[in-house]
Amino acid sequence: MDGDILVSNGENFALGFFSPPNSTNRYVGIWYNKVSEQTVVWVANRDRPITNSSGILSVDQTGNLILHEKDQNFVFWSTNVSRVVKDVVSAQLLDSGNLVLFQGLNKEVYSWQSFDYPSNTVLPGMKIGIDKKTGLNRVFTSWKSSVNPGVGDYSHKMELVGSPQLFLFQGMTKIWRTGSWRGNGWTGIPNINSNYLFNVNYIDNNDEAAIVFYVRDLSIISRLVVTESRTIDRLAWHEADHKDGSKGCKKKGETQLCEVGDGFVEMASIKVPDTSTAHVNMSMGLKACKGFCLRDCSCMGYASADITKDAEDGGCITWHKDMFDMRMFSDGGQSFYIRVDAAELGKRNEDKVGFSSTNTLKTLERTFTEKDIGKNVDLDVFDLSEIVAATDNFSLSNKLGEGGFGSVYKVVSGQSWQ
């Protein structure tokens, strides 16, 4: 009944009724039991909320879990398992966050499991992919908004045409893809080193095609989320951390820009910031671009518009507002020149320290590893939490969305993929 909570044996997850912020609608969901801020990872009645507290979740005579109101026949949600019930049916919330239905005493065979019918969240041990025998495709769909868990516009799923690939869809339009599996990773996602947060298993046989991730350190609470903001975010929880790094790069408070002695630090192998509000001048070379940016106090950085051409023929892009969606690649990208004040530039020249294509970050570009995640680290001149330890389409930041979940690795889609 509404108000009761089912907790998994290891107390990792809880099942019960909840209401999103600023809403009186009631949903049955699963959330982290040990996280101080309620973070829902699965929702049963996504598009059929109950408008009062009379909801009941029970196993009916057909062996299905059903959600209904007391003394009413209307069913808001059901597992809809089409089987003849010969044994006692029981439901259990596993410590993996998987809600399962058992028949009889065999606790290893499920007649239904929530992992096969996900919401917007991929948990460790959950498969993303297709059961080739039954045709079941585990599709992850965004919420409609941060306060509405209904099925949203964005979905993440696998397709088997040609070599299996994972896609991010907006409606029916493919807007991002992983590329095919190359044996040790996806062709569209950069190489992952041995210090990565989790292991990834790829399965492709006569029965199924799927990918599963497992967290290497079981003490880390991590999930993958398809968001209503056109992204796929890798999130990890840090109980004591409440720094918000989701707003891109920002100046340190004590930085004095547009003074005598200002200059630029070169950042190599960069996916340059979003150019939606940038200025582009194809008749200006890189040297003139630097001078133009330096003379304009609002200019925060510059880059070549076409790196296939000579530096003086490749055009000029300058950024004059907040800079978003920067990435540092292990290989690829291009040089980006970020503005620093005289004091910082002097320190750079003295130390001869700069960004390198090997992602060795010192001082301004200090080394980040998984153990640094969640620490309140003070970076010189700019808070580069969106780009440190980043490779290809993945980035690191410290908090996105509700609670203290920080995006460890974040996939940001580009234009529609054809």
The predicted-structure confidence for 346-361, as pLDDT tens digits, reads as follows: 766 655 434 333 332 2
Q: Within its chain, how far is the Cα of 257 from the centroid? A: 33
Determine the Cα–Cα distance for residues 325 and 22; give it in Å rounded to an integer.
30
Q: How many residues does the chain have?
A: 418
CB 307 within 8 A of CB 394: no
State which fold the 1-117 domain adopts.
Agglutinin, subunit A (2.90.10)
3-state secondary structure of 365: helix
Tens-digit pLDDT profile for residues 363-408: 223 333 333 333 333 323 333 333 333 333 333 332 323 334 443 3
Of residues 259 and 341, which shows the higher confidence score?
Answer: 341
Supply the mean pLDDT for the chain.
77
Distances (CA, A) of 194 to 1, 197, 216, 360: 46, 9, 10, 16
Instruction: Select the CATH number that applies to the domain covering 120-242+399-418 from these four: 1.10.1740, 2.90.10, 1.10.10, 1.10.3470.
Output: 2.90.10
Q: Is the pLDDT of residue 34 over 80?
A: yes
Q: Do domains 1-117 and 120-242+399-418 have the same CATH topology?
A: yes
Tens-digit pLDDT profile for residues 292-326: 999 988 899 999 998 888 888 999 999 987 787 77
Distances (CA, A) of 171 to 42, 143, 152, 161, 244: 21, 13, 9, 19, 30
Q: Report domain extents, the chain.
A: 1-117, 120-242+399-418, 263-397
pTM of the predicted protein model: 0.62
Output the pLDDT for position 236: 83
Compute the CA torsion angle 176, 179, 184, 185 (nearest 10 deg): 0
Q: Is the pLDDT of residue 16 over 90?
A: yes
Q: How confident is the model at residue 82 (pLDDT cuts 50, 70, 90)?
A: low
